Amino acid sequence: MFIVNYIKEVFGALKSLAVGLRRTMFYFTHHKEIITEQYPDNRATLKMSDRFKGEVVMPHDEKNEHRCTGCTACEVACPNGTIKIITKFEVNAEGKKKKAIDKFVYHLELCTMCNLCITACPSDAIKMAQTFEHSVFDRSHLTKVLNKPDSKIMEGVE
Amino acid sequence: MWSISNIANWVNEWLGKNFSAAWVTVFEMVIAGILVISLFAVLGLILVIMERKVSAWMQIRLGPNRVGPKGLLQSAADTVKLLVKEAMTPNGADKFLFNLAPYLAIVVSMLLMAPIAFAKDFMLWDLNIGVLYVSAISSVSVISILMAGWASNNKYSLMGAMRSGAQIVSYELSAGLAILSIVVLTGSLNMNDIIRSQADGWWIFKGHFPVWISFIIFLIAITAETNRAPFDLAEAESELTAGFHTEYSGMKFALFFLAEYVNVFIVCAIGATLFLGGWMPFHIGHWEGFNHIMDFIPSSLWFFGKTFFLIFLIMWFRWTFPRLRIDQLLNLEWKYLLPIGMINLLLVTAMAILKWHF
């Protein structure tokens, strides 16, 4: 029936509009829900949201060891050449030559925070940090070496 | 007792004692003009800051909070910024029409101020066809929009203006039908008569079901007529940059902006007059004590309270609903609002003849 559908449509539309109006009225009357951060004023107590991505970092443990094997999966995955890995060969205890990273070069000024390198990494060596105050006076400060000096690969990470 | 009409009468008497009749008319016209212009300025400031705060809270944001106490002076600062900006006229534009359009927009909203009763016995012009006057003059505003869009010599402006033309021409109909249902119940086109007929209860209570329908239709139609979201196709930021006022800057843009907000105020004032009893206080049947307390609240407060309630409703719509496409917009008018409005008008007429209302 055309007329029944017509009336149903009108009442359905009114109902769905009312649902939307109820939601915005809830937000209007509940000021605790406000998510705006007044940044420079509340710098100490700033609350970042979980999915915010600021820069790529390489976590090191207390023995100055990281998990990066130098496989260059992240370098391949990066769409705009942000990561450059310089490898070297190390001789281990048994006298075998082994590939390791010399420098993990990260160009923050080129990075788009797309997270592709993090997902590409097979050994969870890099992750996204939530820092965001990146402004510097010289562009060269934005080119970073992520592995700390004299750091080694962690035991058991292949 | 102090009331706005007493002050007006006092001013009239004082002028009558000191000047001849012709000068009294001149002075009173000047005073009325100054009052209307200052009401414009104040309304612009208040409505802009109100809109920004309401939108912020509805979108879980803070809104302006830096200029003045709690950001209340933000719109004043913005006005100063707009005043000192250069009002450019583009090279390819039709200069005369381009500069005329904002003035036409503001003149239309000034004309609409005339038959509105702001308080008991206080209005600029007690016109016996007030409602007809309002619906006739408000359709002139589309000419200023078309003029601005055409004269800008810009495709976005022209498209915005054409859309706005189609929109206002069609929504004028259902707004008219909704207004007519109250005219049918009152039997008068005079704003004062309409308010007086609501002394024993506002039409939204007395007229029950059919008047509720026409109130909803009226709300939808005035939202469309003032070009506000979800019907802001004339501006449509995301597709037409700013629609008909893309090429305007500085004070010329500010005049369009002001006219938009004042139009919102005026249509809400008319809605308050027709459906919510204008300056009539809220009375419940035979509760003498309650009614007496309500009478103590000044009539101007009642009027502005109801008007701002309707303005809040319209802002609430704007920040809740997504914008309609042009075909959906015209579908809504011609397939839904207009037939429902016509049937509703028949219902209201039957109700008025058979005295079904309270």
Identify the helix (H) or strand (E) that includes residue A39: none
Answer yes or no: do A20 and B54 touch at CB < 8 A: no
Residues of chain B with pLDDT under 70: 1-2, 234, 236-237, 357-358
Helix (H) or strand (E) holding A100: strand A97-107
Q: Domain limits of chain A? A: 2-33, 55-152
% of residues, chain A, pLDDT over 70: 99
Alpha-carbon gap: B339 to the closest alpha carbon of chain A (Å): 11
CA distances from A107 to A80, A138, A140, A146 (A): 10, 13, 9, 10
The alpha-carbon gap from A8 to the nearest alpha carbon of chain B, in Å, equals: 12
Q: Are B216 and B274 members of one domain?
A: yes
Using one digit for the tens of pLDDT, what is the confidence trace for B112-169? Answer: 888 888 877 778 888 888 888 888 888 888 888 888 888 888 888 888 888 888 888 8
Question: Is B276 in the same domain as B334?
Answer: yes
Q: What is the pLDDT of residue A19?
A: 92
- Beta carbons of A24 and B58 less than 8 Å apart: yes
pLDDT digits (tens, 9 = 90+) for A50-79: 888 888 888 888 888 888 888 888 889 889
Task: Collapse the DSSP code of B181 into the 3-class scheme (helix H, G, I; strand E, B; otherwise coil) and give the result.
Answer: helix
Which of A23, A24, A33, A49 should we substitute to test contact with B (largest number of B Cβ atoms within 10 Å)?
A24
- In a domain, residue B157? The reply is yes
Question: Residue B17: inside a domain, yes or no?
Answer: yes
Check whether residue B121 and residue B50 sit in a common domain. Answer: no
A interface mutation test: which of B53, B55, B59 has the most A CBs within 10 A? B59
Based on the fold, state whether residues B67 and B145 are members of the same structural domain. Answer: no
Preceding amide of B230 cis, omega within 30: yes
For residues B54 and B63, give the distance between their C-alpha atoms in angstroms, rounded to a whole number.
8
Does one domain contain both B167 and B196?
Answer: yes
Helix (H) or strand (E) holding A90: strand A83-91
What pLDDT is attached to residue A36?
83
Q: Do B62 and A38 touch (CB under 8 A)?
A: yes
Domain finish residue from B66, B84, B102:
B84
Q: Is B131:B183 a contact under the CB 8 Å cutoff?
A: yes
Residue B296: the pLDDT is 77
Q: Which domain, by its residues, includes B138?
A: 94-354
Alpha-carbon distance of B163 to B167, in angstroms, equals 6
Say if domain A55-152 classifies as CATH 3.30.70.3270.
yes
Instruction: Please report the number of interchain residue pairs, chain A to chain B, with beta-carbon separation below 8 angstroms.
Output: 35
Residue B122 within any structural domain of the chain? yes
Nearest-angstrom CA–CA distance, B267 and B255: 18
Strands A152-153 and A65-66: parallel
Q: Across the interface, do B320 and A35 touch by the CB < 8 Å criterion? A: no
pLDDT of amino acid A3: 85
Among A124, A121, A126, CA closest to A71:
A121
Displacement of CA B178 from its chain's centroid (Å): 15
pLDDT (0 to 100) of residue A137: 92
Q: Give the pairing of strands A97-107 and A83-91.
A: antiparallel
Residues 20-59 of A with CB under 8 A from B: 20-21, 23-25, 27-28, 31, 33-36, 38
Same domain, B112 and B222: yes
B22, B54, B84 — which closes off a domain? B84
Give the residue from B30, B53, B84 where a domain finishes. Answer: B84
Helix (H, G, I), strand (E, B) or coil at B200: coil
| pLDDT at site B164 | 82
* B89 occurs within a structural domain: no
Q: How confident is the model at residue A46 (pLDDT cuts 50, 70, 90)?
A: confident
Is there a single domain that holds both residue B150 and residue B30? no
Overall number of domains in chain B = 2
Same structural domain for residues B51 and B164? no
The reported pLDDT for the residue numbered B358 is 66
Question: To the nearest whole angstrom, how far is the Cα of A16 from the nearest Cα of chain B?
Answer: 10
pLDDT, chain A, mean: 85
Q: Are residues B53 and B99 in the same domain?
A: no
Considering the domain architecture, whether residues B179 and B263 belong to the same structural domain is answered as yes
Query: Residue A106 in contact with residue A100, Cβ under 8 Å?
Result: no
Two tokens, residue A35 = 């998510």
**Chain B neighbors of A33, CB-CB under 8 A:** 60
Cα B20 to Cα B88: distance, rounded to the nearest angstrom: 45
pLDDT of residue B234: 67
* Percentage with pLDDT > 90 across chain A: 3
Chain B nearest-CA residue for A25: B58
Q: Please say whether the beta carbons of B201 and B283 come within 8 A.
A: yes
A93-118 average pLDDT score = 84
pLDDT band at A147 (very low <50, low <70, confident <90, very high): confident
- Provide residues of B within 8 Å CB-CB of chain A: 54, 57-62, 316-317, 319-321, 336, 340
| Unique residue bearing structure tokens 């281990």 | A92
Q: Which helix (DSSP H) or strand (DSSP E) does residue B133 occupy?
A: helix B130-138
Instruction: Provide the pLDDT for residue B7.
Output: 80
CB A83 within 8 A of CB A104: yes
